Structure 1
Amino acid sequence: MVDKRTNTATEAVQDIVSGSSIAVGGFGLVGIPTVLIEALRASGPNDLTIVSNNLGADGFGLSLLLEDGLISHSIGSYIGFNKEYARRYLAGELTVEFTPQGTLAERMRAGGAGIPAFYTVAGVGTQVADGGLPMRYNSDGTVAQYSEPKETREFNGETFVLETGIRTDFALVHAHKGDRYGNLSFRKTAENFNPDAAMSGKVTIAQVEHFVDVLDPEEVDLPGIFVDRVVVVGEQETGIEYRTVQS
């Protein structure tokens, strides 16, 4: 009988080793796999390549891995309000590959679908396509590595840029519900990048708030064929990335 449940988050991430690439779901602090991230931090693999929209907020989410110096390469869309992310990038401690959000989502989905590359209009006429974006700095503030130009091609008189699919060693995602087959159901905006990240991973680990033996087919947002391990973590509270109050 198929049962993809894993007893603990620690057990679920135990084979993630130094040098691994990991796709991580979530947007800001919404729908991020906090329990799996904390377990990964405790196990301590370094030189990680993280594919995620951003790297959390200071003191929360993926930023915890940053603080411990476990991430060497980031593929994402923005730094946001994460001061540690910005500091490490500008200090030459982190290689950063910026990619538009929609392109990032499609690169992960494409990787999981077996599509090696695709053309998109996003980024045409900018450094995303033309190259020249600083990817890594030297400690003195000079640029150590720039992004390379990408292939472009015209279709029906419009220029498109070629982007490659992303296939990572592992993926960490958060879902509202899961079953023993690995089928997942996401709740509202917490769906965000989670399905795409799950598809991108060769080994996908999902933390779920609620577990049922078999999900109703109408509830399945991501089929279990893309999920290898399910960890039940209970209800999780969403953090606030940037609080604005009126005095």
Structure 2
Amino acid sequence: MRLLNGNISIRPLVVATLLAILVTLSFYQLIGRYHLWEPSPPFDRYLSTPLCVFIFLAFLVLFFYFLFQWVALQIVDKYLLEQMTAKSTADLGREYYTKAPFLYRLAMYLSARDLQLDHISDHLNELKNDNDPDPDFYANQLMSLRQRHFKECMSPLEFGTSALPLGGFIGTVYGISLAIEAFEPLLQSTQKGDALAESMTMVLSHLSIAFDTTLIALCLVLFVMLMTIAVKSKWQRIDMVYENVVWRTLKNHSNH
């Protein structure tokens, strides 16, 4: 459990991974046992290639992670800002987590916003114990802390923009190496007719792995880039309001 309470991106990433695995297993259960959908070419080829499935799974992890962060930015952070604006002398810490409605608390937990509030509470406790507090100093400290949270939050999505194309490249190299391995004995054989066609089919199937993994990875990474931009822009818009609220609240703390 200590691992889940470290870097703020670890907990949502672990939950997203478990959800992605569950969705993937359920999907294969539906099409395998219940035959609810019969994949047509080229989807049947994609779903039967382990490397393609792994790339799809990695994308699902990033997609669920994005959902957790987006919900937090849309709902949780907006709620916190409203509370801080309405109560200028209130704490900016964990009290908002404990007093929020259940769905807000669930979103906070999945996005690890409760850990962020714990970090903020620690800084505010230092402010309360300071006999001569400097609101500018503590405001800068809190904004630096939020910048660290921002980097930790964005790191999985930014890693995904590099990892997915790399996975496609690995699939390309792997597929071409298999095709070369199957093509070399074909050049030296005297096969004809159906036997020759079967050997050529094997070579082409290995080449399809190379091109399929690259195509899927490049297409999916475009969506990951859009998700990264969406989270980053929303976070920065909220920060513009957050900075003013933090400074005003700290100013009120220092006057009491």
TM class, shorter-length: under 0.3
Rg (Cα) greater in structure: 2
Instruction: Select the structure that is richer in strand.
Output: 1
Instruction: Select the structure that is richer in helix.
Output: 2
TM-score (norm 2): 0.20
- Which structure ranks higher in relative contact order (CA pairs < 8 Å, sequence separation ≥ 6)? 2
TM-score (norm 1): 0.21
